[in-house]
Each structure stands twice: as structure tokens, then as C-alpha cells.
Amino acid sequence: MQTNTFSINRMRRRVIVNQVFKYIFIFSMSLALLALALLIYRILNQGLGSLNIDFLRQFPAPYPEKAGLFAGIMGSLYLMFLIAPISITIGVSTALYLEEYAAKNKFTRFIQINVQNLAGVPSIVFGLLGLTFFVYLFSLGYTLIAGALTMSLLILPVIVVASQEAIRAVPEDIRAASIAMGATKWQTIWRIVLPASIPGILTGSILALSRAIGETAPLIIVGAAAAIYTIPDSLTSKYTAMPIQIYNWTTRPQEEWQYLAGAGIIVLLIILLLMNSIAIWIRNKFQSRY
């Protein structure tokens, strides 16, 4: 009898604890969703009125009604076209070396940990690095290529880590099978490992690129212009980027600029969402399970 009430009490307590945690989790999720909904509502509310074709086509201007994001959009796209090849080539190569070639010893682990740490370094630090190396040491000046190289450095660790995960997920069995068929290491990598890991690598890379497109701090340091009336025509051109223009508008006192900033944020969000959708699409399309 006594044991019976004891176990019923225990049961009841477990059920209550279960319920409590369920509601805590639901509450946390709603908080996150609420924040997202508020953000989207505020931005749409503020920016939708200023968002039109002219806004996408015009250069910055001292008059809110004539100002546009064109220089920023083009600048950001040019940056992407430079950052993507640079960072993905170097990043994937690094990951391949670490996973496939490097001996599994303390030194490799040390590099591994440092790459992971680098992924968490604040972006402003990469800006300072870019300023010291690309702008001054390589005397690239405040140019498009200096900005692109800096941003490539910024997202490189993220790409390395993501690619490593993807490469590691390729089963050892099919590697062994390939080697057993007489393939060299490189043939195995090229024909077996890379095709199998490409979805993971590209997903990681595109997410990293999305981070780069939204960054402001490093670009300010390596000298992206606040107001410019030409789009880059060479790697050594002056440039600006979307977040720089948006930031510039939010710091103005007059209310109209805040609306423009809102419109700019909408454009940036759309481009970000597009990039993320591409990442998801690639993952689904090329995914194959072993």
C-alpha cells in the first residue's frame, strides 16, 4: 500500500515536470518567433513605402526621394563574385588536406582547434587584419579587391569547418572500395569524396557567403565608401556595399532616411533569403545517402 502511493506520487511528479518543461520550451520558441515577427513587421512597415524600382536604380543622394541602393547592390554583388571563388577554393582545399592527407597527430589537432576558434573571432578583427595586410602591406589601397580578400578571410574558417564536416560524413567504406579498385588518393577524392560531399560543402559555403553579404564592420575599416556615384569597373575601383549604405542612412537625423534604411534592409533580406533557398535547393538536389 505504502509503495503504491509512493509510486503514484512519483508518477505524478514526473508528469508535472514533463509538462513544465514542455511549456518552458514552447515559451522559448514563441519568444524567438515573436522577435522575428516583430522584426519583419517593423521593417516592412518602415521600408515598404520607399521600396520601388527607382530605389533599386539610383545612386546615393542628399535628397531622400532621389537616393537609391544601386551602388550598394552592385558593390555587394561584385564582392560576392570575388569572395565566393577565393574563399571556396582555399577553404575546400584546406578541408581536403586536413581530412584526407594530414596525419592524425597533435599538430593537426592544434590546427583544427585554431581554425574552429578563428570562426568565432569578431569580424572587426578581420577588418583590422585586412587593413594591415591587404590595404597597407600589399598596397592594394581602399579598393574592391582589398575588401573582397578581407571578407574572404572572414568566412574562410566557416567554410573550412563546414567542408570538413561534409567530407567526414562520407563513409569510410566507399573510400576503401575506391582504393581497393586501384584508384589513387586523388582519384578517390575527385571521383568519390567530393561528389558525395558537395551538397554539404556548398550549403556551408552559401551560408558563409550570406554572412559576408551582411557584414558592415570590416568593410568600414578597409574603406568601403559611404557615398559613391560610380559602380566598380575594375578590381582596383572604389566601392560601397549594401550594409554600409543602410548603416549610413540609419545614422541620419531626419525620419525619411529611416524609411530608406528600412527599404534597404528589405532588399538585403530578400537577397539573403534567396541565397539561403539556393543552399537548401542544392542540398536537396544533390543529396545522396550511402
Partner 1 sequence: MKNLKVFLIAALFVLSIGLLTACGTEEETGQNEDTTEENNTAEGKETEVDNEQELSGEIALDGSSTVLPIMEFLTYEYNQVKPEVETALNSSGSGGGFKKSTVGEIDFSNASRPIKEEEIALAGENGIELYELELAYDGLSVVVSQENDFLENITIDELREIFLAESGKTKWSEVNSEWPEEEIIIYSPGHDSGTFDYFNEVVLEENPMREGEGVTLSEDDNTLVTGISSDPYAIGFFGYAYYIANEDTLKVLGIDNGDGNPVKPNGDTIQDGSYSPLSRPLYTYVNVDYLKEKPQVHDFAVYALENAGAAAEQVGYVALPQEKIQEQINAINELAGK
Unique residue bearing C-alpha cell 584508384: 183
Give the residue, chosen from 21, 25, 110, 229, that forms a contact with partner 1 under the rule CB under 8 A: 229
Q: Which stretch binds partner 1 (CB under 8 A): 26-34, 46-54, 83-91, 266-274?
A: 83-91
Per DSSP, 280 falls in state H
Q: What minimum distance in Å lies between the beta carbon of 115 and partner 1?
A: 20
Q: Which is nearer to partner 1, 194 or 275 (CB)?
A: 194
Q: Which stretch binds partner 1 (CB under 8 A): 43-51, 79-87, 103-111, 159-167?
A: 79-87
Give the residue, chosen from 128, 235, 269, 278, that forms a contact with partner 1 under the rule CB under 8 A: 235
Using CB under 8 A as the binding rule, the residues of this chain from 36 to 55 that contact partner 1 are none
Contact pattern for partner 1 over residues 127 through 156, marking x by CB under 8 A: -----------xxxxxx-x--xx-------
Per DSSP, 50 falls in state G
Unique residue bearing C-alpha cell 574572404: 152
Angle at 187 between CA 182 and CA 190, to 5 degrees: 150
User: Alpha-carbon Rg of the chain, whole angstroms?
Assistant: 25
For residue 120, the SS3 value is coil
C-alpha dihedral sign at 279, 148, 132, 142: negative
For residue 184, the SS3 value is coil
Site for partner 1 contains 58 (CB under 8 A): no
Site for partner 1 contains 227 (CB under 8 A): yes
How far apart (Å, rounded) are the C-alpha atoms in residues 148 and 82? 6
In contact, 144 and 82? CB cutoff 8 Å: yes
Q: What minimum distance in Å lies between the beta carbon of 120 and partner 1?
A: 25
Q: Which residues bind partner 1 (CB under 8 A)?
A: 59-63, 81-82, 84-86, 88-89, 138-143, 145, 148-149, 194-195, 198, 220, 223-230, 235-236, 238, 248, 250-255, 286
